[in-house]
Amino acid sequence: MNLPADHPLVDGRTAASALIRAYRGERPEITPIWFMRQAGRSLPEYRELRVGTAMLDACLDPELSSEITLQPVRRHGVDAGIFFSDIVVPLKLAGVDVDIVPGRGPVMGAPIRTMAEVAALSPLEPDALAPVAAGVARTVAQLGSTPLIGFAGAPFTLAAYLVEGGPSKDHLRARTLMHSEPGTWAALMEWAADVTGAFLRAQMLAGASAAQLFDSWAGSLSLADYTAYVAPWSKRAISYVHDLEVPVVHFGVGTGELLGAMRDIGADVVGIDDRIPLDEGIRRLGGTIPVQGNINPALLAAPWPVLEAHVLAILERGKTAPAHVVNLGHGVPPETDPTVLTRIVELVHAAR
Ligand code: 1CP
């Protein structure tokens, strides 16, 4: 393990936490739970803190990123923090003209579609990651025995933004490019894997105890395209943390047909979205790997008895895996009542 001696996984702070034990395949006394997009828009204290600061500036301000990361941990009692940042932060740090537009998401100054445009992309200088490492270090110093999850976007999901120039529904231009210009595609994916891999590694070295690779939009791909044009580059991205021996979670939306292939890039845990029943996802994975998921975000706004029954059913289905970390099938919707999230944490922690 090439982590520093004062890293929380090494010095005893987080190695025995419920989250890390579950990610390693054990069944701790409580089933751990955290929420994708727990840090951010659904919390009034977040909205207050963000007034007057652009999203990417907030991500690169160690004091702000750390405080926003800690807010949901304090409020909900979740079993992990997830570092407040964004998948496009390493693109920005490598010099790409990208902004996060409120209500829309990441938007590029110009799309990257040709070999010349890919060749003009710069590598990410290690020093550029200093604000990320500082934010993580500051967060971890305050989290104590609660592990911090570091994350990065997978190359395909990043390419979906780079090629399109912004958010898109079907990521069609990226899906065309992989077939029409396989050489350009490979060069773009290699650049994205290296940039995102370095971003992930910096978070882990600075004190994060687990890594999550988000291939949010991989569900738009056939298994054949995923295997040929995407999986090798996701594997390259996570190779950046391989020697650190940290647990790696791999998640995407609508990936019921891809679960085995997503595991096979070298993931230790597979995140399952809410489009298939959790036990069906576990069955497709052969019942041998820990899973994370898969509360339907739509039910967060349903009457409590409906949501409660849904969460308890997911806990039951999760018992067919070696270990289970409860999460949503995708991110917390911005309009979610935060008290509902706290109530789910209490329910999961009290359940047997
Ligand atoms: O002004 C704001 O508050 C901007 C909203 C916002 C927030 C809070 C964006 C823009 N990003 C984030 C933070 C963020 N992004 C986190 C923080 C930690 C946490 O989970 O609490 C994380 C992990 C991400 C990762 C991310 N960004 C993903 C992968 C996860 C997922 O939700 O699928 C993706 C696809 C993005 C792109 C992105 N950034 C922001 C938006 C609105 C989007 C999606 C745009 C689209 O629909 O294409």
Residue 325 forms part of a structural domain: yes
Residue 296 forms part of a structural domain: yes
Burial readout 150-161 (b: 16 or more C-beta within 10 A, e: otherwise): bbbbbbbbbbbb
Q: Whose C-alpha lies nearest to ligand 1, atom 7? A: 40
The residue type at 327: N
Cβ atoms within 10 A of the Cβ of 177, count?
Answer: 20
Backbone dihedral region of 146: left (phi > 0), alpha (psi from -120 to 50 degrees) or beta?
beta
Residue 9 forms part of a structural domain: no
Burial readout 210-230 (b: 16 or more C-beta within 10 A, e: otherwise): bbbbbbbbbbbbeeebbeebb
| Burial (0-12, 13-18, 19+ Cβ within 10 Å), 186 | middle
CATH no. for residue 24? Answer: 3.20.20.210
pTM of the model: 0.97
135 three-state secondary structure? helix
pLDDT-derived band at 67 (thresholds 50, 70, 90) equals very high
Residue 102 forms part of a structural domain: yes
pLDDT-derived band at 241 (thresholds 50, 70, 90) equals very high
Packed helices 338-350 and 62-76: angle between N→C axes, nearest 10 degrees = 60
Mean per-residue pLDDT, 264-292: 98
Q: Whose C-alpha lies nearest to ligand 1, atom 35? A: 216
Task: Tell how far the Cα of 197 is from the centroid of ligand 1, in angstroms.
Answer: 18
In this prediction, residue 177 carries a pLDDT of 98
Q: Is 161 a catalytic residue?
A: yes
Q: Is the minimum distance from the CB of 25 to ligand 1 under 6 angstroms?
A: no
Round to whole Å and give the CA distance between 211 and 198: 12
Residue 3 forms part of a structural domain: no
- Yes or no: say if 66 and 139 are a contact pair by the CB < 8 Å rule: yes
Residue 4 forms part of a structural domain: no
Residue 11 forms part of a structural domain: no
Does the structure show a pLDDT above 80 at 1? Answer: no
In this prediction, residue 234 carries a pLDDT of 98
Q: Is the minimum distance from the CB of 36 to ligand 1 under 6 angstroms?
A: yes
In this prediction, residue 296 carries a pLDDT of 98
Task: Tell how far the Cα of 329 is from the centroid of ligand 1, in angstroms.
Answer: 15
Does the structure show a pLDDT above 90 at 198? Answer: yes
pLDDT-derived band at 18 (thresholds 50, 70, 90) equals very high
Q: Is the minimum distance from the CB of 249 to ligand 1 under 6 angstroms?
A: no
Containing structural domain, residue 126 = 18-350
Packed helices 182-205 and 155-164: angle between N→C axes, nearest 10 degrees = 120
Instruction: Give whole-number Cα distances, 243 to 9, 261, 299, in Å.
Output: 14, 22, 39
In this prediction, residue 34 carries a pLDDT of 98
Round to whole Å and give the CA distance between 40 and 47: 7
pLDDT-derived band at 267 (thresholds 50, 70, 90) equals very high
In this prediction, residue 352 carries a pLDDT of 79
Q: Is the minimum distance from the CB of 161 to ligand 1 under 6 angstroms?
A: no
291 three-state secondary structure? strand
Q: Is 226 a catalytic residue?
A: no
pLDDT-derived band at 33 (thresholds 50, 70, 90) equals very high
- Yes or no: say if 148 and 81 are a contact pair by the CB < 8 Å rule: yes
In this prediction, residue 87 carries a pLDDT of 98
Q: Is the minimum distance from the CB of 216 to ligand 1 under 6 angstroms?
A: yes
What average pLDDT does the structure give for the chain? Answer: 97
Phi/psi at 100 (5° precision): -105, 115
Q: How many separate domains does the chain show? A: 1
Mean per-residue pLDDT, 95-101: 98
Q: What is the pLDDT of residues 293-345, one digit of tens each?
A: 999 999 999 999 999 999 999 999 999 999 999 999 999 999 999 999 999 99
- Yes or no: say if 200 and 211 are a contact pair by the CB < 8 Å rule: yes
Whole-number percent of the chain with pLDDT over 90: 99
Ligand 1 mutation target, pool 87, 199, 213, 294, most atoms within 8 A of CB: 87
Round to whole Å and give the CA distance between 48 and 74: 16
Does the structure show a pLDDT above 80 at 224? Answer: yes
pLDDT-derived band at 40 (thresholds 50, 70, 90) equals confident
Catalytic residue among 13, 23, 79, 161: 161
pLDDT-derived band at 41 (thresholds 50, 70, 90) equals confident
Q: Is 24 a catalytic residue?
A: no
Specify the DSSP element, H or E, that contains 50: helix 44-50
Q: What is the pLDDT of residues 150-168, one digit of tens each?
A: 999 999 999 999 999 999 9
Residue 8 forms part of a structural domain: no
- DSSP track, 154-211: -HHHHHHHHHHSS--SS-HHHHHHHHH-HHHHHHHHHHHHHHHHHHHHHHHHTT-SEE
Q: What is the pLDDT of residues 163-182, one digit of tens each?
A: 999 999 999 999 999 999 99
Q: What is the pLDDT of residues 42-64, one digit of tens each?
A: 999 999 999 999 999 999 999 99
Round to whole Å and give the CA distance between 260 and 284: 7
